[in-house]
């Protein structure tokens, strides 16, 4: 089965290219090779490649920059998804698409279910929600996967930033009043391939929106504590810096961050038998990979 992977050089795209099961022919394109915001490019590439499945890992993910660059954020996250959806529908093939916890307001008190009302508070979340809506309108066979707090050995992410700061500083202040589920890029990629294998076997899937994020829920402060402790154990840090928990108000950013980004993964479990990954075990593997490459 030939699969077109967009955003192939990003965190999840990189892992999708690395961990594909046998029997899939991959065509992976990064943004330099395919700008999904360009409708003509999308139509030409899809017509030439003739994929049997598209996995969209391309996105505008600069959350703060999006506040002053809304046109580009919507061009990629809304229009780009619409272009891929139209191309998939023309070929009568499915589109698997990655979305985000930022489609919610972040003011809940329990994990968000797929059916809960959305309410993004910033440009990034609004553009991703618009992409979800465009996909649902344009494509009859789609699966939207909402995830959160993505980290991995490849690309830029919180875990790698904390490692760098942990080497540079003796003390750090980390936000302690935002909660979510750290999710390894490799875990997301493996899960998407499980869905692709099921589609290849059955010719269909239970389409719709699903949540998939790491467990247990934690704060950024707790995530950083785990990163430092595991990094120390693996020899990536000479010592653990002292850490102060601060509030969101103490660390203002252009984009408002959700205070609550915890996603309920029960629909994915009940439908596909896929459990939420243990981010602590996945973090250990990411740090092991980083240690192996120096």
Active site residues: 124
**Pair 58, 10: CB distance under 8 Å:** yes
Handedness of CA 182, 66, 256, 136 (dihedral sign): negative
3-class SS at 122?
Answer: coil
**From start to end of 148-273, where are the E strands?**
150-151, 171-175, 179-180, 183-184, 208-211, 218-219, 242-246
CA angle 211, 216, 221 (to 5 degrees): 110
Rounded Cα gap, residues 141 and 286, in angstroms:
33
Q: How far is CA 138 from the centre of its chain?
A: 22
Q: How far is CA 284 from the centre of its chain?
A: 19
For the chain, the first-to-last Cα distance in angstroms comes to: 36
């Amino acid at each position: 089965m030939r699969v077109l992977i967009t955003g192939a050089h990003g965190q999840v795209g990189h892992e999708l290219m690395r961990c594909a099961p046998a029997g899939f022919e991959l065509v992976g394109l990064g943004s330099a090779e395919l700008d999904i915001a360009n409708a003509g490019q999308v139509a030409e590439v899809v017509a030439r490649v003739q994929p049997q499945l598209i996995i969209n890992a391309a996105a505008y993910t600069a959350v703060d920059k999006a506040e002053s660059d809304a046109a580009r954020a919507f061009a990629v996250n809304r229009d780009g998804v619409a272009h891929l959806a139209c191309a998939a529908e023309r070929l009568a093939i499915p589109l698997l698409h990655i979305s985000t916890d930022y489609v919610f307001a972040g003011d809940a008190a329990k994990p968000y279910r797929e059916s809960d009302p959305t309410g993004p508070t910033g440009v990034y979340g609004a553009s991703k929600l618009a992409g979800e809506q465009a996909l649902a309108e344009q494509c009859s066979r789609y699966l939207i996967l909402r995830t959160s707090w993505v980290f991995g050995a490849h690309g830029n992410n919180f875990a790698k930033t904390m490692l760098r700061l942990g080497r540079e500083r003796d003390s750090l202040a980390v936000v302690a009043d935002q909660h979510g589920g750290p999710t390894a890029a490799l875990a997301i990629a493996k899960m998407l391939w499980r869905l692709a294998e099921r589609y290849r076997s059955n010719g269909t899937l239970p389409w719709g929106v699903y949540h998939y994020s790491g467990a247990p829920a934690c704060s950024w402060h707790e995530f950083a504590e785990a990163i430092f402790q595991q990094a120390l154990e693996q020899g990536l840090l000479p010592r653990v810096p002292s850490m102060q928990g601060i509030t969101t108000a103490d660390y203002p950013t252009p984009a408002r961050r959700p205070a609550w980004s915890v996603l309920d993964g029960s629909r994915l479990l009940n439908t596909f038998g896929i459990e939420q990954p243990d981010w602590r075990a996945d973090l250990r593997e990411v740090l092991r990979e980083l240690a192996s490459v120096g």
